[in-house]
Structure 1
Amino acid sequence: MTAIPQAHTWRTARSARVTALCVLAVSALTMLTGCGEEDPDAGTNGVGRLPAQKIQTKSRAAADAAPAVHLAGTVVTGGVTFKLDMRLKSGGGSGSVTSKGSSFRLLRVGEQLFLKADAAFWNHGGDTSAAGKLDGKYVKVPQEDPAYKKFSGFTEKDVLLPALLTLHGKLATVGHHEQAGTRTIRVTGDGGPGGTLDVSLEGKPYPLRLVRGGGAGTLIFSEWGKDFSAAEPDKSETVDYGGQLPGA
């Protein structure tokens, strides 16, 4: 029998040890990188890798540049809760508002604001005769009427969004989430009390969900960039009350 040279035996053993060490190293690396989990930002728009302040800035810029948006949810202001379901664009807005048990529709075309509600809404002012005439009609709101300033802001994208999309306190990211099937990165103000904002990781970094600080409401944003019709209602559906609106 031919003897195996010692040098060959040593090289074989050494090769086996190197292979074992390589396997251990790969295993350790796999554990350190999350046991093979995929990068949560892989295939996204990349904003999830940015600092929280930059994420908010990019999100605001995307919202400002979008031609239209649909928002729905609640806004609490002055101790009053408003439930909104609005479509907004630079030239107008339309949708519904509910507050204190009353619901009404708003429609703005350019500078013209129309309000549509039932008789019960208009009867709050005590004028039953006017309430009957205005019931179910689009009522043109005079710009000097206090109701114009109060309600037109709900229809103005360039006014409403900057007022809403604000987080307070120190900003931080708190992980990856999902909103209506879209991956998001969440940004908080002061860890949550200053508000939370979910920003899309797919396509443009649009805001998708906002929880306002201090319990001031929650809003869902969708249909970014989707246009909608905002035309003045037919004259048969419209009442020009002329003076200050009753009960609004």
Structure 2
Amino acid sequence: MKTFPTRVVALTGALAISLGAAACSKSETPAASAPSASSTASTPAGSSSSTSAPASDAPEAADILSKAKANALDATSGAFVGQVDQGGKTIKIDFKGTSDGKTADIAIDMEGDGKARVISLPEGVYIQGDATFWKKQGAPAAVQKAGGKFIKAPVSASSMTQSLSLKSFLEKAFGAVTPSQLSTDVASESVNGVDCWVLTDTKGKEEGALYVSKDASQVVRFTGSTKSPGQLDFSKWNEDLGITAPAKGEIMSVG
């Protein structure tokens, strides 16, 4: 029983990090009640309007990438929401958390494999899943009957919080993007009301794009390729995310 919740924490963290590599890769194809970090993990519906030609006043693509990467890795906290395709299945994610992983709230909806939510705090890690998720994970019978309640992971799960860290995710994501992959043409686009520089793969936007805010050099959006579509929208950089533990009545004791 004690190793089971710890394994679920590790799984959720690994999924979050792998989503970054999938949505951020450019020259390679990116690879009960519903739990949620806010309501449910969902596809971002933000609008964007694109220029039809490269922006003549744009900085060098490599410089934009360098500043965006530095700001992202230096951030104390952040959030992202979106979806990617992995192995022919759609995975939706709603993530918010701190750079060190000690505080995080992650909801994941895995096509055919259920929905799960993990809340990580210094005082403990709480896991919620729907019936499909718990069954797929081979959870004990008591947990499979938990309904919408959270289970609290043992103290040993605290060592897994690094896998839930924003920094680990971003390091994996930016590890899939190198200056040599970028087109020298930088476009200008508005995403959810934010003016952005748009970096694309040398093969074109259909192989992936990175959207970076012009004013603060912050990551706004990552997209995947047409063959392996994905989109992650970022926000709340360096903000207080207001993550709290579930109410006592929402937590089930598993012994």
**TM-score, reference length from structure 2:** 0.63
Q: 1:164 to 1:126 in 2, by over 3 A?
A: closer
**Equivalent residue for 1:224?**
237
Unaligned runs of 5+ in 1: 1-39, 42-47, 243-248
- 1:203-222 to 2 correspondence within 5 Å? 204-212=216-224, 215=228, 217-222=230-235
Report the residue type matching 1:159 in the other structure. Answer: S
Q: Write the deviation string for residues 142-194 of structure 1: whole angstroms up to 9, x where unpaired.
A: 5768xx96x973x3201112222342552123311111111111112333365
Aligned length: 191
Report the residue type matching 1:95 in the other structure. Answer: I
> Would you say the 8 A contact 1:108–1:152 is kept in 2?
no
What is the alpha-carbon distance in structure 2 between the residues aligned to residue 142 and residue 215 of structure 1? 37
Verify: 1:104 aligned to 2:116, yes or no: yes
What is the alpha-carbon distance in structure 2 between the residues aligned to residue 126 and residue 92 of structure 1? 24
Report the residue type matching 1:137 in the other structure. Answer: K
| Aligned partner (choices 185, 208, 226) of residue 195 of structure 1 | 208
Report the residue type matching 1:60 in the other structure. Answer: K
What is the alpha-carbon distance in structure 1 between the residues aligned to residue 59 and residue 81 of structure 2? 28
Q: Secondary structure at the match of 2:249?
A: helix
Q: Secondary structure at the match of 2:240?
A: coil
What is the alpha-carbon distance in structure 2 between the residues aligned to residue 100 and residue 57 of structure 1? 34
What is the alpha-carbon distance in structure 2 between the residues aligned to residue 120 and residue 78 of structure 1? 19
Verify: 1:64 aligned to 2:70, yes or no: no
Compare the two structures and name the one with the higher helix fraction.
1
Please say which structure displays the higher CA radius of gyration.
1
Q: 1:68 to 1:130 in 2, by over 3 A?
A: closer
> Would you say the 8 A contact 1:167–1:212 is kept in 2?
no
**Equivalent residue for 2:18?**
none
> Would you say the 8 A contact 1:59–1:205 is kept in 2?
yes
Q: 1:170 to 1:126 in 2, by over 3 A?
A: closer
User: Aligned-residue CA RMSD in angstroms?
Assistant: 3.1
Unaligned runs of 5+ in 2: 1-54
Give aligned-pair identity as a percent. 25
Report the residue type matching 2:68 in the other structure. Answer: S
- 1:1-248 to 2 correspondence within 5 Å? 49-77=58-86, 80-90=89-99, 91-101=102-112, 102-110=114-122, 112-124=124-136, 125=138, 128-132=141-145, 134-142=146-154, 153=163, 155-165=164-174, 166-167=176-177, 169-172=180-183, 173-192=185-204, 195-202=208-215, 204-212=216-224, 215=228, 217-241=230-254
Report the residue type matching 1:138 in the other structure. Answer: F
> Would you say the 8 A contact 1:67–1:225 is kept in 2?
yes
